[in-house]
């Protein structure tokens, strides 16, 4: 049995462009609009498992949930392809992006679940200078300081934002990014950063959404 994304190469750095309609640009609970029921959900913590019911063929899911079952989930077709969907999870409901044509019901195959190893991430150990790819081709150099301030640039694409270590989502801290001049829909993205030895050689993974687009970056 293969489990998704447990070993990722540098060539797997990707950005997914999602055609989203009517979605908000914030990961806060106030603008949450459920379109998904999770019949069988993942346990709290970071895990990966088979997924049943994603309308675009997502066969695997990475889940990052707090003790209340809130957090986010990423759906993939297989362990070598980009993210298909970003789910904002609130207990047994979720908001899928891109939004499905009609409400859907998902199940996590609990028997297939394995823990995804994560390393405690703080503002201090997140600090550093990294490289990633925007839209799979355009190089971006990103610097994070010990206060959580993030700046990056490359070929006219600029990014700035902040990391917030108050997040209680397992193995992740909250991220807000602002993109300008990039070859994907620009604007403010809300999401999370995490660290896992399974992502080597990448040091950090940054995921987020702005209601029009989603990012799934590996920072090396």
The three-state (H, E, C) secondary structure of the chain, written as one string: CCCCCCCCCHHHCEEECCCCCCCCCCCCHHHCCCCEEEEECCCCEEEEEEEECCCCCCCEEEEEECCCCEEEEEEECCCCCCEEEEEEEECCEEEEECCCCCCEEEEECHHHCEECCCCCCCHHHHCEEEEEEECCCEEEEEEECCCCEEEEEECCEEEEEEEECCCCCCCEEEEEEEEECCCCCCEEEEEEEECCHHHCCCCEEEEEECCCCEEEEEEC
Query: Cβ(134)–Cβ(15) under 8 Å?
Result: yes
Whether the Cβ atoms of residue 131 and residue 139 lie closer than 8 Å to each other: yes
Contacts of 65 (CB under 8 A, 6+ apart): 41, 42, 43, 44, 45, 71, 73, 89, 169, 170
Q: Give me Rg for the CA atoms of the chain.
A: 16
Q: What is the pLDDT of residue 77?
A: 85
Per-residue confidence (pLDDT) for residue 80, from 0 to 100: 55
> Does pTM surpass 0.85?
no
Average pLDDT, the chain: 83
Residue 1: per-residue pLDDT: 38
Instruction: Specify the pLDDT at position 98.
Output: 82
pLDDT lower than 70: segments of the chain: 1-30, 79-82, 168, 170, 212
**Residues 127/144, Cβ–Cβ less than 8 Å:** yes
Q: What is the pLDDT of residue 138?
A: 84
């Amino acid at each position: 049995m293969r489990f998704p994304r447990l070993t990722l190469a540098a060539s797997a750095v990707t950005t997914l462009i999602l055609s989203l309609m009517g979605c908000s640009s914030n990961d806060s609970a106030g603008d949450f609009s459920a379109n998904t029921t999770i019949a069988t959900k993942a346990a709290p913590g970071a895990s990966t498992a088979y997924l049943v019911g994603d309308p675009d063929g997502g066969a695997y899911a990475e889940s990052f949930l707090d003790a209340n079952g809130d957090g986010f989930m990423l759906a993939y077709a297989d362990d070598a392809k980009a993210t298909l969907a970003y789910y904002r999870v609130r207990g047994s409901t979720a908001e899928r992006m891109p939004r499905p044509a009609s409400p859907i019901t998902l199940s996590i195959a609990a028997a297939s679940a394995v823990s995804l190893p994560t390393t405690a991430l703080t503002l201090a150990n997140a600090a550093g200078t990294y490289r990633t790819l925007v839209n799979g081709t355009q190089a971006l150099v990103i610097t994070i300081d010990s206060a959580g301030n993030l700046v990056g640039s490359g070929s006219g694409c600029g990014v700035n934002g902040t990391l917030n270590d108050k997040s209680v989502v397992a193995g992740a801290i909250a991220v807000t990014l602002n993109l300008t001049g990039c070859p994907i829909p620009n604007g403010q993205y809300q999401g999370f950063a995490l660290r896992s030895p399974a992502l080597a050689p990448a040091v950090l993974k940054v995921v987020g959404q702005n209601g029009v687009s989603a990012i799934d970056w590996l920072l090396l």
